[in-house]
Amino acid sequence: MTTSSDPELRCDPAEGLASFAELGPHRPTDPRPGTLEILAEDRETSARSCRLWTGHGPVETPCFMPVGTYGAVKGVLPDELRAVGSQVVLANAYHLSHRPGAERVGEVGGIHAFMHWPGPILTDSGGYQVFSLRSLQKIDDAGVDYRTHFDGSPARMTPRSVLEAEASIGPDICMILDHCPPGDGGGASDAARRAILREAMDRTTLWAQEAARLRREILRDDQLCFAIVQGGTDLELRREHLETLAALDFDGLALGGLSVGEPIPQMHATLEAIAPLMPRDKPRYVMGIGTPSDLLAAIRAGVDMFDCVIPSRHARNGQLISFLGRFNIRNGRFRRDDRPVDPSCGCPVCARFSRAYLRHLHVHNDPLYVRLATMHNLYFFHEWVAVQRRAIRQGNFGAVAAALARVLEDRTQPGKGSKSTS
């Protein structure tokens, strides 16, 4: 099986996107930020392809968003991000609020000017970090007290403080504060786990109501504001929370609290059941996923946007991902391997550099390694999604999704096909 060389499974992920030089602030002739054009819907699945207008241009969906927590995808220049197909960069309001400070970013004209990325930017609130870094001190219905992971100093986060930080930082899409419970319910029994999910959900609702009241006062008119649906993998809770948040004044909804340690089939089942119920006329975002298999499941379920640290973090750790699978570039067998990471990859790294050279750079801790490896991995993730986007728009998503599922299967069976896994 050589599905990976099938031409319909490969494409340039930057094809059809505006060039880097063409990106910039909203023009008067562009549709109003928040406008969602539904361009195609698959007949057999819930997959769909849209164009979301933001204050810095359109986003073609489905769209994978690279993570640049502090206003940079580590090691990669903004124009290089665009060249590998990035459309939206994700930053974190919590990290930027502490380093260098939300006001500081505002003083230089906002995050777009600060990092020289003229396209759409989304900021997460940082609530997830406060809950997951175990820096949490006290949580109440008005907000959360925590100690920063920078120097342990005490701080407080509320729905208002998050929106105020996002007003200064200036992203196009602002996530509100939510209460993200631990994925396994903290090792509790079923009843206790449900109570933990319910409490987080109810508190998230209170915070969302507060954010919906404040957003028009605090954010600019062209800043979109998304709320976050909780409920773990409990479908009843998820449906209830989705219905509650869908009635509030938000431009889009996200599913949070997934890919936090629950079994993968359960996570995919949650996506399959819940994503199609999200409002059709608003963007649907799943936070913090995922692997190529997660992305396939999410797109099939009708999700428009996703973010994940996998391509960039794995790249830095030596893990290179492609249609061939995933391998560790440090492996000694690459010492004399003059082939590119993936001979059929169209990325600017595979066009010029060998596995042996990348391994050499990694072993010697050369920063050029991080830049090249991140570019290749991001190109693959963007291509993986772009192929599905094109298929939805051309009306052959079913066939392409089936072929991509075979690629994934092929990658996990050593010895089968053109394998290159470690």
Residue 347 lies near Zn ion (rule: CB under 5 A): yes
Interface with Zn ion includes 314 (CB under 5 A)? Answer: no
| β 143-147/136-140 pair status | antiparallel
Instruction: Give dist(CA 251, CA 226) in Å, integer.
Output: 6
Q: Does residue 124 have a known ligand-binding role?
A: yes
Q: List the helix and strand counts (H, then E) for the chain.
A: 14, 16
**369 annotated to a ligand binding site:** no
Judged by CB under 5 A, the residue of 241, 355, 376, 390 near Zn ion is 376
Stretches 23-31, 231-239, 357-365, 373-381: which one binds Zn ion (CB under 5 A)?
373-381
Please say which residue, 350 or 387, places its beta carbon nearer to Zn ion: 350
Residues 6 or more apart whose CB falls under 8 angstroms from that of 104 comprise none
Give the Cα separation of 284 and 201 in Å (integer). 18
Structure token pair of residue 33: 């930020």
Is 321 among the residues that bind Zn ion (CB under 5 A)? no
Number of residues assigned to the chain: 422
Minimum distance from residue 347 beta carbon to Zn ion (Å): 3
124 is catalytic: yes
| Cα angle, residue 131 at apex, residues 146 and 64 outer, rounded to 5° | 130
Given the structure tokens 């508190």, which residue do they identify? 203
Residue 141 known to be catalytic: no
> SS3 helix, strand, coil % of the chain, rounded to 5?
45, 15, 40
Out of 83, 84, 345, 400, point to the residue binding Zn ion (CB under 5 A): 345
CB atoms within 10 A of CB 161: 18
**Position 187: which residue type?**
G
Residue 76 interacts with Zn ion (CB under 5 A): yes or no = no
Residue of 251, 304, 307, 342 marked catalytic:
307
CB 380 within 8 A of CB 311: yes
Residue 360 labeled ligand binder? no
Residue 127 marked in a binding site: yes
Residue 176 DSSP symbol: P
Region of 57-65, 87-95, 141-149, 344-352 interacting with Zn ion (CB under 5 A): 344-352
Considering only 11, 115, 350, 387, the residue that binds Zn ion (CB under 5 A) is: 350
Shortest Cβ distance from residue 303 to Zn ion (Å)?
25
Which residues lie near Zn ion (CB under 5 A)? Answer: 345, 347, 349-350, 376
As annotated, the active-site residues are 124, 307
> Residues comprising the binding site?
124-128, 178, 230, 257, 345, 347, 350, 376
